[in-house]
C-alpha cells in the first residue's frame, strides 16, 4: 500500500500542502481514504466510554450513542464518495486500522493523543478536542479544521464532477438514529455536497449555532458541544440574543457511574508489564478483537460488492458484529487489573487477521 495511506503517516498534512489546481483524481482518492480512517478512529474511544456506563441507559449514554451512529454514517458516506469515483475503501488492513494510544491518522492534531479508557472527564475532554471546530487539523496555515479539510474535498469534487459515476454505492437506512443519518448513494455533485454538509455540521455545528442541523431529537447539539457539556457538567444554553451568546450555564449534567476501565497501553494490555493478562483474560480480549476485526472486514466487503443487495447484507452483518462487541467489552470491564489500582481491563481494538480456512 502506498505509504501516504498508512495510519501513522502525515498524509493529510501532505495533501493539504498541495495547491488547489494540482488536486487531481489521485489527490481526491487519497483524501477520501484518509477521511475514512479519521472517522473509524473515533469509534473505539467513543464506544469504550459508552460501554463503561454501568446502567447502560440514560441521557449521557444516549448522547454518546447518537454520536457513534453519526460517525458510522459519516464513514459510510465517505466510502460512497470514494467508490463513486472508482476507488475502493481500505478498512481492514493492519496499515490503516486505528492505533491507540497515538494521534489521529494522517498528521491530524499531532499534539492530541487519542486513547481508550472508560467514561471520565479526561476522556470526554479528549473527545471534544477531536471534534473541536476552531483548532488546526494539521500543521498548515491554509486549512485549520477537520471541517476545512472536508471543504477542500468538496472543492476537489466540484472541480472533478466528471469522476462521479455512482458505482458500488451502499444504500442503508439509518434515519431512526437522526435526520440525515441514512447512508445514501452519491451519484451526483448535489448528493456529495449534501453528504459533506451533514458530516461537517453534525460534528462542528454551523457557523451561527452549536445545534446539530440533522438531529435525532429537537435541540440536539453538534458533537463538539455534546462533549463540552459532559466536560463542564452543565447544559449549553443561549444566554442572550442579537447576537446569540451561548454558555455552559444550564442544568447540571453529572457523568453517570461507570466501570473504571484503565487506559489501554499502546499495542494492548500485553505491553503493560504490571497487567499482563492471564490466559482467561487474554481469551476475553481476543474474543473482542476477533469481533472488531470481523466488523472491519465485513464493512470493507460491503464497498467491494457490485450487487447492492450483497452490499446491504454486509453492512447488516457489520452492525451485528458491532452489537456483539458490546457485551464482550462490558465483560472485560468487570475484570480488575492486577496492579491494585482499582482499574479494570477494557477492549483493545486490535486488528487480527482472518483465520485461514
Mean pLDDT for the chain?
91
Q: Which residues pair with 336 in a beta bridge?
A: 344
Residue 311 lies in a domain: no
Residue 331 lies in a domain: no
Above 50 in pLDDT, residue 225?
yes
Start-to-end CA span in the chain (Å):
25
How would residue 139 be classed by pLDDT, with cut points 50, 70 and 90?
very low
Residue 314 lies in a domain: no
Which residue in 194, 167, 195 sits closest to 73, CA to CA? 195
How would residue 141 be classed by pLDDT, with cut points 50, 70 and 90?
very low
How would residue 4 be classed by pLDDT, with cut points 50, 70 and 90?
low
How would residue 205 be classed by pLDDT, with cut points 50, 70 and 90?
low
Residue 184 lies in a domain: yes
Residue 59 lies in a domain: yes
| Cα–Cα distances in angstroms (integers) from residue 224 to residues 185, 204, 210, 315, in the given order | 27, 6, 8, 27
The Cβ of residue 242 has, within 10 Å, a number of other Cβ atoms equal to: 5
Find out whether 198 and 69 touch, Cβ atoms under 8 Å: no
Eight-state DSSP code of residue 357: -
Can you give the pLDDT at residue 154?
96
Domain holding 128: CATH number? 1.20.1260.10
Cell of residue 302, nine digits = 460491503
Q: What are phi and psi of 211, to 5 degrees?
A: -75, 145
Residue 37 lies in a domain: yes
For 254-298, the pLDDT digits (tens) are 999 999 999 999 999 999 999 999 999 999 999 999 999 999 999
CA atoms of 51 and 73, how far apart (whole Å) = 20
CA atoms of 27 and 354, how far apart (whole Å) = 31
Eight-state DSSP code of residue 221: B
Task: Report the percentage of the chain scoring pLDDT > 90.
Answer: 73
Find out whether 234 and 248 touch, Cβ atoms under 8 Å: yes
State which residues form the domain around 118.
3-259
Per the structure, how many domains does the chain have? 1
Residue 274 lies in a domain: no
Which residue in 74, 53, 50 sits closest to 64, CA to CA? 50
Eight-state DSSP code of residue 339: T
| Cα–Cα distances in angstroms (integers) from residue 27 to residues 33, 87, 143, 164, 218, in the given order | 10, 12, 16, 15, 38
For 161-185, the pLDDT digits (tens) are 999 999 999 999 987 766 678 999 9
Residue 204 lies in a domain: yes
Amino acid at each position: 500500500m502506498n505509504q501516504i495511506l498508512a495510519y501513522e503517516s502525515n498524509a493529510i498534512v501532505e495533501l493539504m500542502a498541495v495547491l488547489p489546481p494540482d488536486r487531481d483524481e489521485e489527490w481526491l482518492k487519497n483524501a477520501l481514504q484518509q477521511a475514512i480512517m479519521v472517522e473509524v478512529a473515533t469509534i473505539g474511544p467513543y464506544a469504550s466510554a459508552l460501554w463503561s456506563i454501568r446502567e447502560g441507559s440514560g441521557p449521557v449514554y444516549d448522547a454518546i450513542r447518537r454520536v457513534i451512529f453519526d460517525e458510522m454514517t459519516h464513514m459510510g458516506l465517505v466510502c460512497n464518495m470514494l467508490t463513486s469515483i472508482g476507488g475502493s475503501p481500505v478498512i481492514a488492513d493492519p496499515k490503516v486500522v486505528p492505533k491507540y494510544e497515538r494521534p489521529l491518522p494522517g498528521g491530524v492534531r499531532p499534539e492530541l493523543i487519542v486513547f481508550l479508557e472508560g467514561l471520565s472527564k479526561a476522556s470526554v475532554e479528549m473527545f471534544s478536542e477531536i471534534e473541536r471546530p476552531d483548532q488546526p487539523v494539521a500543521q498548515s496555515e491554509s486549512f485549520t479544521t477537520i471541517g476545512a479539510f472536508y471543504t477542500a474535498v468538496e472543492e476537489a469534487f466540484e472541480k472533478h464532477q466528471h469522476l462521479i459515476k455512482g458505482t458500488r454505492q451502499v444504500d442503508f437506512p439509518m434515519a431512526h438514529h437522526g435526520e440525515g443519518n441514512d447512508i445514501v448513494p452519491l451519484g451526483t455533485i448535489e448528493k456529495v455536497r449534501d453528504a459533506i454538509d451533514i458530516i461537517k455540521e453534525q460534528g462542528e455545528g454551523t457557523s451561527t449555532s452549536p445545534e446539530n442541523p440533522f438531529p435525532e431529537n429537537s435541540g440536539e447539539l453538534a458533537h463538539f458541544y455534546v462533549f463540552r457539556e459532559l466536560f463542564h457538567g452543565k447544559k449549553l444554553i443561549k444566554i442572550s440574543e442579537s447576537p446569540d451568546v451561548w454558555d455552559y450555564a444550564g442544568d447540571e449534567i453529572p457523568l453517570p457511574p461507570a466501570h473504571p476501565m484503565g487506559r489501554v497501553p499502546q499495542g494492548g494490555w500485553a505491553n503493560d508489564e504490571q497487567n499482563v493478562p492471564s490466559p482467561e483474560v487474554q481469551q476475553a480480549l481476543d474474543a473482542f478483537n476477533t469481533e472488531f476485526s470481523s466488523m472491519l472486514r465485513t464493512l470493507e466487503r460491503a464497498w467491494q460488492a457490485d450487487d447492492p443487495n450483497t452490499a446491504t447484507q454486509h453492512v447488516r452483518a457489520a452492525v451485528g458484529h458491532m452489537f456483539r462487541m458490546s457485551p464482550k467489552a462490558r465483560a472485560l470491564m468487570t475484570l480488575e487489573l492486577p496492579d491494585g489500582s482499582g482499574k479494570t481491563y477494557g477492549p483493545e481494538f486490535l486488528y487480527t487477521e482472518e483465520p485461514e480456512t
